[in-house]
Amino acid sequence: MLRVLHSRAARASVATFINNRSTGALGNARKVQSRSISQVITLTDESISKFKEGNDRVVLYYTATWCPPCKVIKPIYEELSENYEKVAFGKVDVDDCPDAAADANIRSVPTFVFLKDNSPVKEFAGADKKMLEDGLSELSDM
Amino acid sequence: MSKQVVFHIGGWSSCGFYSKASNVLASLSILFPSRLKVVDHKYGSRDEYRSWLIGTSGSGFRDTFGISKASNQTSSPFAWIESSDGGNSFVGGCDDTLAWCKDFCAPKEEGGEEKAVHVDDGHTKGHGYDYDLVVIGGGSGGMAASKEAAKFGAKVAVLDFVKPSPAGSTWGLGGTCVNVGCIPKKLMHNAALIGEILSSDTEPFGFTAPQALEKGHSWEKMREAVQNHIRGLNFNYRVTLREKEVTYLNKLGKFVDAHTLSLTDKKGKVSQITSSRFIIATGGRPSPLNCEGGELAISSDDIFSLEQNPGKTLCVGASYIALECAGFLAGIGVDTEVAVRSILLRGFDREIADKIGAHMEDHGVKFRKGVVPAKLEKNGEGKIEVTFSDGTKDVYDTVFAAIGRSADTGKLGVENINLKVNERNGKIPTKFEQTSVPNVYAIGDVMEGCPELTPVAIQAGRHLARRLFDGSTTPMDYKNICTTVFTPMEFGTVGYNEEDAKEKFGCGSYEVYHSSFNPLEWSLSEHRGKHPAFAKVIVNKDTDAVLGIHYLGPHAGEVTQGFGVAMKKGVTYNDLLDTVGIHPTSAEVLTDLTVSKSSGKSADAKGC
């Protein structure tokens, strides 16, 4: 019960954070690094490179609103973002960010890309919780 | 009548292979003197033959062809065909000559040899433009053409920019079919079919009181699922274009000159690109309702993405688009009425069109016949009051106009390149898809005379790309294209309908074989029996060739597709009867049509 509440609070803070960003708050990449609870940051074609450069361990969740498996994995991804403190969690909507999706050569959604020092170390497509956890553990240990 | 071929054969008199080939040729030239002339070059000895053929170090006759296969031949005979332009084309030796003779005698379909050769469009390797090909319009045809051209190494860009409908609807990459046509239509038609299964079939097949029926239909849920599917397709198209190395530009193109387009993006930013060749594949858009208040009507551009159930709806028009939409709306429980000016489904088989109308009328669609809307106005409750041409009035939540489609060429800048356009409908006349401007081509709905069907545009686009970038001369075959109308009772059709057969061949020259039948799946349900399924084929009495196949019943698209292949291969009525059916299916009726219309016997199915 406590955990659920905790998670909701975290999500609320993500929303606040995104709102701040959209009203022009700068330096979000730095902010991500210094956070105490992991959060999922919604990225844009413009903000994605800064996010990748500003964090040494990054996971990117490429998603779309029309994708049924994404609806399944989304809450899991958000929850996992609280458990891996070393990793910066990003979310990229392939329709809102066509350039970012094309740059990463995303062929289907959801696709997860893991980056260490801005280089991809692992990638997979599909709403697979186990693979997501494995990827996050590997990335944390790098 | 094909031209006479002048066939040359050289050899030495006592060579068996030469004699054999020469004799076959001589026989053929006797049988077909207008098609074949044989010139025999007979040498008295092997040495004489060889000195003519081989000569000394590259000076023999065989070297005049400039191809290694000819220059390497030493044996007898040596055969070639004289071309009208004075050049010769090498055939080969005895086996090659006999193979040529065999092919010469093989039966050929009329028109089967037609080659599509374009007017020289000035395309060269080092043309210096930004692209080899720019395709304007990322619908089914445009995407197919661009991907096919890229396959042959062409540098290709495809432009796709959706101008919002008057009601404000826009959509993503993929064109009409995917976004506001075939795909959402078929899915919503399927919703109606599910509804009919729930209401007609559950009880007799042993299911009781389905909860689904009590809860009714949720337009919002259906719309969201359909739209999500479409958005997934839009994304997949972007991915595919990227993988095939086609540049996708979400910009509106307008000709500046025959090699330059000005592009405008969403934000109004203008740029230019140049290309050696262009394909116009902009398709069409619904024609607006031309009466007072016509702007209050929505069209097929809007209906599939409506936020809410359209409520009481008036469909204007009796085209397949109007009837398909009216059909699925009524099928999901919408109060639906159709205003028909004259006849249903103009251009399709009359007898079947009437059956479709009767079936729809019994499935909740009301028809208002012989009228058109004269005036639309919003009343105080936000509903639309429609005054019809006969003075009658009624009030609707939604007016849906499907009175025709016009080619989308208005903003292309065709006047800047002197491109000929049919002023009546905006369509572009072509020969083998080449327009009056040689480096500009047109495919799909925008092309004059093209059946407005997605797969036609795709096929034409692929053929065109192969001709432009792979040396093909294969034309697009626009004959005998099969299609299906997804009215509540589906209608699959290929070839001539009865009216067209009468006009083309005359009354006594064809026979109609027909049958009404009850699909087995319908036989347990009382509700289903009233409107049986129906099939008919139209047969040329002289040749036994099937002129048209028409099928009204379940899964018409699945049934008709294979018969489309048969029609392409020139199926005869006896071929149909000779085919073993699949039992128990609806399609098998087409292998067993024995009642002729001229016999006056009833087409109705008899007993068990």
DSSP states along B252-293: EEEEEETTEEEEE-TT--EEEEEEEEEEE---EEEPPP-SBT
Residue partners of B37: CB distance under 8 A and separation at least 6: B4, B5, B6, B7, B29
Q: Class for domain B294-403, per CATH? A: alpha beta
What residues of chain A lie within 8 A of the CB of B228, using their CB? 65-68
What gap in Å lies between CA B591 and CA B576, rounded to an integer? Answer: 5
Residue B42 burial by CB count (10 A; 0-12/13-18/19+): exposed, middle or buried? middle
* Angle at alpha carbon of residue B127, lines to B122 and B129, rounded to 5°: 115
* Angle at alpha carbon of residue B191, lines to B584 and B582, rounded to 5°: 10
* Angle at alpha carbon of residue B598, lines to B594 and B601, rounded to 5°: 60
Sign of CA pseudo-dihedral B464, B470, B473, B477: negative
Single-letter amino acid, residue B601: K
Span B206-221, pLDDT tens digits: 988 667 777 889 999 9
What gap in Å lies between CA A137 and CA B18, rounded to an integer? Answer: 80
Count CA atoms closer than 13 A to A70's CA, side-chain side: 18
User: Nearest chain A Cα to B242, which residue?
Assistant: A102
Q: Find out whether A93 and A64 touch, Cβ atoms under 8 Å.
A: yes
Is pLDDT above 60 for A24?
no
Beta bridge partners of B157: B134, B247
pLDDT of residue B210: 67
pLDDT of residue A19: 36
Query: Is B294-403 the same fold as B131-286+406-470?
Result: yes
End-to-end CA distance of chain B: 52
Q: Find out whether B332 and B219 touch, Cβ atoms under 8 Å.
A: yes
Is pLDDT above 50 for A32?
no
Give the active site residue among A18, A67, A76, A131: A67
End-to-end CA distance of chain A: 33
**Could you give the 3-state DSSP secondary structure of residue B549?**
strand
Among B231, B232, B242, the residue with its CB nearest the CB of A102 is B242
Residue with tokens 């025959």: B258
pLDDT band with cut points at 50, 70 and 90 for residue A33: very low
pLDDT of residue B208: 83
What gap in Å lies between CA B356 and CA B534, rounded to an integer? Answer: 10
**Could you give the 3-state DSSP secondary structure of residue A78?**
helix
Contact of A67 with chain B, judged by CB distance below 8 Å, is answered with: yes
**Residue-range domain boundaries for chain B:** 5-105, 131-286+406-470, 294-403, 490-599
ipTM for this prediction: 0.72
Contact of B266 with chain A, judged by CB distance below 8 Å, is answered with: no
What gap in Å lies between CA B390 and CA B371, rounded to an integer? Answer: 6
Cβ neighbours of A58 (radius 10 Å)? 27
Q: B155 vs chain A: nearest CA distance in angstroms?
A: 19
pLDDT mean across residues, chain B: 94
Say yes or no for a CB contact (<8 Å) between B239 and A68: no
pLDDT of residue B591: 97
Show the tokens assigned to B535: 């099939």
Q: A61 vs chain B: nearest CA distance in angstroms?
A: 16
pLDDT of residue A11: 40
Say yes or no for a CB contact (<8 Å) between B232 and A66: yes
User: Nearest chain A Cα to B240, which residue?
Assistant: A107
Sheet with strand B384-388: strands edge to edge? B373-378, B384-388, B393-396
Rg over CA atoms, chain A: 14
Say yes or no for a CB contact (<8 Å) between A66 and B238: no
Q: Find out whether B289 and B316 touch, Cβ atoms under 8 Å.
A: yes
What gap in Å lies between CA A96 and CA A7, rounded to an integer? Answer: 26
Quick one: which of B504, B468, B562, B594 has its CA closest to B149?
B468
Instruction: Find residues 69-128 of chain A whose CB sits inside 8 Å of chain B.
Output: 94-95, 98, 102, 105-109
pLDDT of residue B88: 81
Quick one: which of B255, B259, B253 has its CA closest to B121?
B259
Cβ neighbours of B455 (radius 10 Å)? 17
What gap in Å lies between CA B13 and CA B607, rounded to an integer? Answer: 74
What gap in Å lies between CA B173 and CA B572, rounded to an integer? Answer: 42
Is pLDDT above 70 for A3?
no
**Could you give the 3-state DSSP secondary structure of residue B463?**
helix
Q: B248 vs chain A: nearest CA distance in angstroms?
A: 11
pLDDT of residue B58: 78
Contact of B235 with chain A, judged by CB distance below 8 Å, is answered with: yes
Show the tokens assigned to B271: 């740029």
Q: A123 vs chain B: nearest CA distance in angstroms?
A: 17
Cis amide leading into A110 (omega within 30): yes
What interhelical angle do B350-361 and B320-331 show, nearest 10?
20
Our CA dihedral for B392, B398, B403, B409, rounded to 10 degrees, sits at 140
Sign of CA pseudo-dihedral B119, B124, B128, B131: positive
What gap in Å lies between CA B375 and CA B378, rounded to an integer? Answer: 10
pLDDT of residue B71: 86
What gap in Å lies between CA B562 and CA A21, rounded to an integer? Answer: 57
* Runs of H (alpha helix) within B362-427: none
Show the tokens assigned to B380: 């105080």
What gap in Å lies between CA B507 and CA B499, rounded to an integer? Answer: 10
Quick one: which of A64, A88, A60, A73 has its CA closest to A126?
A73
Show the tokens assigned to A85: 């403190």
Residue partners of B190: CB distance under 8 A and separation at least 6: none
pLDDT of residue A125: 97
Among A66, A105, A106, the residue with its CB nearest the CB of B231 is A66
CATH number of B490-599: 3.30.390.30
pLDDT of residue A6: 40
What gap in Å lies between CA B450 and CA B433, rounded to an integer? Answer: 10
What residues of chain B lie within 8 A of the CB of A109, using their CB? 235
Beta bridge partners of B440: B278
pLDDT beneath 70: ranges in chain B: 1-2, 84-86, 108-113, 209-210, 605-608
User: Nearest chain B Cα to A94, which residue?
Assistant: B235
Rg over CA atoms, chain B: 30
**Does 3.50.50.60 match the CATH number of domain B131-286+406-470?**
yes
Q: What is the largest CA-CA distance in chain A?
A: 41
What gap in Å lies between CA B124 and CA B276, rounded to an integer? Answer: 8
Fold of B5-105: Glutaredoxin (3.40.30)
CA distances from B304 to A11, A44, A77, B20 (A): 34, 29, 33, 69
User: How far from the centroid of its chain's Cα atoms is residue B340's Cα?
Assistant: 27
Helical (H) or strand (E) element with A67: none
Q: Where in the sequence numbering do the catalytic residues of B fall? A: 583
Under DSSP, the state recorded for B139 is: S
